[in-house]
Amino acid sequence: MTERVDDIVDVCLLAGKLMLESGGETYRVEDTMTRIAASFGVSRSHSYVTPTGIMFSVEGTNVTRFIRISERSTDLSKVAFVNHISRRISSGELSLDGARKELERVQRQPLGYPFWQQTAAAAAASACFASLLGGMNHFLPSLLSGGMAFWCFEMMHRLVKIRFFAEFFASFVAGGIVLLMERAGLVGDVGNMMIGSVMPLVPGLAITNAVRDLMAGHLIAGLSRGAEAFLTAFAIGTGIAFILSIR
C-alpha cells in the first residue's frame, strides 16, 4: 500500500507542479491534487500551496513531500490540459499509470504558440488597442512599438532573470520608439500609442489570480500575486515616466 501511496503522491505533485508553473490559481492547484488523490483512494490528503512551493501530505502515513517551484511561465492551455486530465481521473477513465503518462506528455509539450507568433500577436494587439483608444491612424506606429516592446521584454528576460527589470526595459523601449516617431513628425498624439504598446505587458493573469485566490481564502497566495501585479504595473509606469521626463 505504501508504494502505491508514493506513486499516487507522485502523480498529484506532478499535476500540481505543472499547473502552478503554467499560471494556474493556487486554489485550483490544491483542489486538483486533493481530487486526484481522492479518486485513487487516498481520501484524506492535505496540501499547502503558495506561488513558489507545494507541500503535500497524506494523513495516517509518513508520506509528506515538498517541491519548490522556481520558474513560472504563462501557459493557460497547459492549465486547461491538466484540468481535463484531472476530470478524466475523477470519472475513473484513467488509471494511475495512464494519468502519469498523460501528465508527462503535457510536461514535454512545448509552449502553445511559438515566440514569433506571440510577438506578432503582441504587435497586432497593441495596434488594435491603440486604435481603439485613439483612432485608426494609431494602428501602424503601435504595431512597431508594441511588437518591439514584447520582443525586448522576452530578450531581456532571457538575459537577466529579473522580471521587473525586463518589464521596465520593455516599456522604456516602447515609449522610446513612440517618442522617436514623434520627433520625426510621424505621429501626433503619443499617449494612446504608448498605452497600446505596453498593453501586452500588463499583468492580467496576476490580477485575475490574485482576486480569485483571495476569494477562495488563500490570503498568502492572493497577496503575493497582488504584489506581483502591483510591481509589474509599477515597472511599466516607471519605464514610461522615464521616457516622458526626457521628452
Partner 1 sequence: MMIVQLLLSFVASSLFGVIFNIPKRLLPHSGFVGMSGWAMYMAAARSGIDGVAATFVAAFFVAFLSSGFARRYRTPATIFIVPGILPLVPGGTAFEAMRHVVMNDYNAAISLAAKAFMISGAIAMGLIFSEVVNQLVKRRP
Instruction: List contacts with partner 1 (CB under 8 A).
Output: 22-25, 28, 74-80, 83-84, 87, 111-113, 117-118, 121-122, 124-125, 128-129, 131-133, 136, 150, 191-192, 194-195, 198-200, 202, 204-205, 207-209, 211-212, 215, 233, 237, 240-241, 244-245
Q: In what order do the strands lie in the sheet with 64-68?
A: 45-50, 53-58, 64-68
Q: Which is nearer to partner 1, 27 or 40 (CB)?
A: 27
Question: To the nearest whole angstrom, how small is the minimum distance from the Cβ of residue 213 to partner 1?
Answer: 11
Q: Which is nearer to partner 1, 78 or 218 (CB)?
A: 78
Q: How buried is 69 (Cβ within 10 angstroms: 0-12 exposed, 13-18 middle, 19+ buried)? A: middle
Q: Which is nearer to partner 1, 13 or 82 (CB)?
A: 82
Question: To the nearest whole angstrom, how small is the minimum distance from the Cβ of residue 223 to partner 1?
Answer: 13
Question: To the nearest whole angstrom, how small is the minimum distance from the Cβ of residue 90 to partner 1?
Answer: 12
Question: To the nearest whole angstrom, how small is the minimum distance from the Cβ of residue 72 to partner 1?
Answer: 13
C-alpha cell, 34: 486533493
Nearest one of 227, 161, 173 to 198, comparing CA atoms: 173
Question: To the nearest whole angstrom, how small is the minimum distance from the Cβ of residue 135 to partner 1?
Answer: 10
CA 79 to chain centre: 10
Question: To the nearest whole angstrom, how small is the minimum distance from the Cβ of residue 37 to partner 1?
Answer: 20
Residue 192 to residue 127: CA distance in whole angstroms: 10
Query: How is 162-186 classified by DSSP, letter by letter?
Result: -HHHHHHHHHHHHHHHHHHHHHTTS
Q: What DSSP element (H or E) covers 50?
A: strand 45-50
Residue 126 to residue 197: CA distance in whole angstroms: 5
CB 210 within 8 A of CB 222: yes
Q: Which is nearer to partner 1, 55 or 207 (CB)?
A: 207
Q: Which is nearer to partner 1, 62 or 91 (CB)?
A: 91
Question: To the nearest whole angstrom, how small is the minimum distance from the Cβ of residue 86 to partner 1?
Answer: 11
Q: What is the rounded radius of gyration, in angstroms, for the C-alpha atoms of the chain? A: 22
CB 167 within 8 A of CB 230: no
Q: Which is nearer to partner 1, 8 or 175 (CB)?
A: 175
